[in-house]
Structures are given as structure tokens and as C-alpha cells.
Amino acid sequence: MKVCVCMYETTNCKVGCVCGGWSMVLLEHGMGCLSQPGKPMTLHHSTMYRKSKPIVLCTGNKNKLKEIVEIFGENFPYKVDNQDIDLPEYQGEPEDIARAKCELAAEHIRGPVLVEDVSLCFNALGGMPGPYIKWFLGKCGTAGLYKMLDGFEDKTAYAQCIFAYSSGEKESTVKIFDGRCEGIIVPPRGPTNFGWDPIFQPNGYSETFAEMSIDVKNTISHRSNAIQKVKDFLLQGNH
């Protein structure tokens, strides 16, 4: 196996490598650059990965897709699409729920797939609503969620985001990535177009998720923390 200067490993094509002292064009991956013997190749991620299958995010929520793509950043080398797949609402621990959904989605997509499971956990309620926050939000709304803590002095909470990733290949192992953000539950403030954001105020900030700019939110949120771990994993050539 040759290892090129950008640390991309492959057994399917020949890579012009400094340590090999020779140069080749990377046809397998659509490369059009040529290295001089003994000199590093100029490898551009966008070119190197352009023939990879897109990663399918299982959601019908365009706002969620937009936020995730923005967190990945403009230099992220893979295309991310979304597909609204009707997945069962499993019960259990968040990691188990995400893993089960990802396995099912991978069977449907038959390619790289990313499934997200989000929890909002009130410490006074032992972690509830947890992974069932979507159901609670639909029934109670943001004001109702806040009122759930009326009888409790403890308003602390944490938002948790778990991403489950599968390459879609047979017998592939589902990888789990966990991100958290600590904060408090407050009366609803800010726009109401993104779930429970109006009632969650992260520690160290005077604004709720709904009130703060998307740039700030995308640097501190539970989703951002989890996506960064996904990004690091994929950039190691695990796609």
C-alpha cells in the first residue's frame, strides 16, 4: 500500500508518493494532477473525493440539513443530501435508537447514511423528555415544555445529539458520535421555527439557541460537537 502526502490510503489505485520517488496520475479517483519525482503531489479534497457516493442524511427537515451542511463547512469534501425516510420511533437509550435507525436506513439507501437522534434532558426529571422530545414538543409546545419544570427549582438541562453513520456496505459497523451542550430551560424567547431552541439557553450565554446567530450556535451546539466528530472520522478516509 502506498500512502500519499495527504495521508489518503488506497489499495485500488497507484498514488504518487514522495517516499516512492515516482509519479502517477490518480485516475481511479479522478485526479488530474501530476507529481514530480521526489516532490509532494498537490491533492485537492474536492477532486479526490468527487466520485464518492453522497452521504444521505435521513431527514425531511431542510433547516436541519442546511445547519448540518454549514457545520461541516465549505471545504468538506463530500456531498451531503437528504432523504425523508419513514423510520420507526424506537424506544430505549439514545445510542441504541440511533444505531437501530441507522441500520434500517442503510438497508434502504444502500449507501453512506447518517442518522441523527436528538435528546433534550431535564436534570430535575431524571433526563426526561430525553429522546422523546419530538413527541413532547408536538403535544406541549415550547411553553408547555417550560411549564413541566414549574414545580422544580432546578432548571438545568443538556441537549444531546447522537449521529449514527454507516457506509452502507454489507456487514459494516455502525459508528456512533455523541455531542452535548449544557444549559438551562427558560421561558420561550426568539423565533419558533426550529423546534425547542426558544427554551434552551446554553451555559455562558444570555441568549437562547433561537435568539443567537446561526454562526454562534453552530460553534457551541450539541449538533456541532457531534458533527465535528463525524467530520474528523470521515476525513480519515472512512467514507
Of 45-59, 154-168, 181-195, which range is least confident? 45-59
Identify the domain containing residue 99 by its residue range: 52-238
Does 74 lie in the same domain as 44? no
CA distance 107 to 118: 22
The structure's pTM equals: 0.74
pLDDT at 42: 45
CA distance 51 to 47: 8
pLDDT at 89: 80
Q: Which residues are annotated as a binding site?
A: 59-64, 89, 101, 117, 194-197, 217, 222-223
Does 214 lie in the same domain as 106? yes
Does 118 lie in the same domain as 59? yes
In this prediction, residue 5 has a pLDDT band, given cuts at 50, 70 and 90, of: very low
Q: Answer with the one of 27, 51, 75 that is the final residue of a domain.
A: 51
Q: What is the mean pLDDT of the chain?
A: 81
Q: Is 230 exposed, middle or buried (0-12, 13-18, 19+ CB in 10 A)?
A: buried
Does 147 lie in the same domain as 216? yes
**Mean pLDDT over residues 63-80, rounded?**
90
How far from 165 is each of 53, 55, 117, 202, 230, CA to CA, in Å? 14, 9, 12, 27, 8
Q: Which residues are annotated as a binding site for Mg(2+)?
A: 89, 117
Phi, then psi, of 156 in degrees rounded to 5: -70, 150
pLDDT at 24: 30
Does 145 lie in the same domain as 44? no
Does 75 lie in the same domain as 6? no
Percent of the chain with pLDDT over 90: 59
Does 35 lie in the same domain as 62? no
pLDDT at 62: 86
Strands 55-58 and 113-122: parallel
**Mean pLDDT over residues 222-232, rounded?**
95
Does 100 lie in the same domain as 15? no
Phi, then psi, of 177 in degrees rounded to 5: -130, 125
How many domains is the chain partitioned into structurally?
2
Does 93 lie in the same domain as 3? no
For residue 180, give the CATH number of its domain: 3.90.950.10
Does 145 lie in the same domain as 34? no
Does 201 lie in the same domain as 106? yes
Q: Which residues are annotated as a binding site for ITP?
A: 59-64, 101, 194-197, 217, 222-223
Does 65 lie in the same domain as 39? no
pLDDT at 163: 97
